[in-house]
Amino acid sequence: MASLTLKHVDRAFPNGYEAVKDLNFQIEDGEFVILTGPSGSGKSAVMRMIAGLDEVKNGEIWIGDKLVNSLPPEERGIAMIFQNYTVYPRMTVLKNVELGLRLRGIDEKEIGKRTLEVLELLDLVEVRFAKVKNLSDLWKHRTALARAMILEPDVILMDEPLRNVSPKFHNQLTQELVELQERTGVTILYATKNVEEMAEEGVKCNETDENPERLCSGDPCDSGTAVRSGKL
């Protein structure tokens, strides 16, 4: 687990549009932070820079005591769950979950041990041999989260992870995420337009309206975008 710090971070597109302008914030080790704002306010741009998928124009991104600007995604100690969470529908839950370890060349004994631990943690044991394409959104989301957790990341990034999930599962999955963070202490940055659904499930949100953390410049930010955070 680790802290996450952004210092004077900018992100501009080739057409000159500034998606993120002079962003500063720090997430403490083991903290659950919600990044909220309307569509187009720069939430996904922030996530992609932290993940190493997009270049930082100016500023610094630190994970723990490591400056990661020049590091590829696989060396940053992060796991990502974005709007279209990555699972392989024709593979079983088990194969999906253990894939990340196999790609890293982990030995079979360790793969077996860590896979079982994560399957049990996320209540996936009973469906481990089922193909993901045959499962409900509930199980697909748990599988995506298990794929992230098995890598033992310092930080998990979640960008609107429930956006493409059936609304009937939102409350249950939100509660499960809160409980998982409490049990593991993993640092989470969670981007969403709907902060209320997180607050209803026990995430403590500190309003920053008096001095909001601005994510970007231009019209999309006129409504004001803030970082809301709280330890569970």
Tens-place pLDDT, residues 49-91 = 999 999 999 999 999 999 999 999 999 999 999 877 678 999 9
Report pTM. 0.82
54: tokens are 């997009």
pLDDT at 231: 35
CA dist 43 and 27 (Å) reads 15
Q: Which are the contacts of 24, defined by CB distance < 8 A and separation ≥ 6? A: 6, 7, 8, 9, 213
pLDDT at 36: 85
Of 193 and 150, which is predicted with more confidence?
Answer: 150
The sign of the CA dihedral 83, 225, 3, 202 is negative
Sequence ranges of the chain with CATH classification 3.40.50.300: 1-77+155-166+186-232
Strands 226-230 and 187-192: unpaired
Tell whether the model's pLDDT for residue 11 goes beyond 70.
Answer: yes
CATH of domain 1-77+155-166+186-232: 3.40.50.300
Helix 137-149 / helix 108-121 crossing angle, nearest 10 deg: 130
User: What is the DSSP-derived secondary structure letter of residue 50?
Assistant: H
CA dist 201 and 15 (Å) reads 40
Of 24 and 205, which is predicted with more confidence?
Answer: 24
Half-sphere exposure of 77 (CA within 13 A, CB side): 18
The pLDDT-based confidence of 118 (bands split at 50, 70, 90) is very high
Q: Which are the contacts of 212, defined by CB distance < 8 A and separation ≥ 6? A: 224, 225, 226, 227
pLDDT at 226: 39
pLDDT at 164: 76
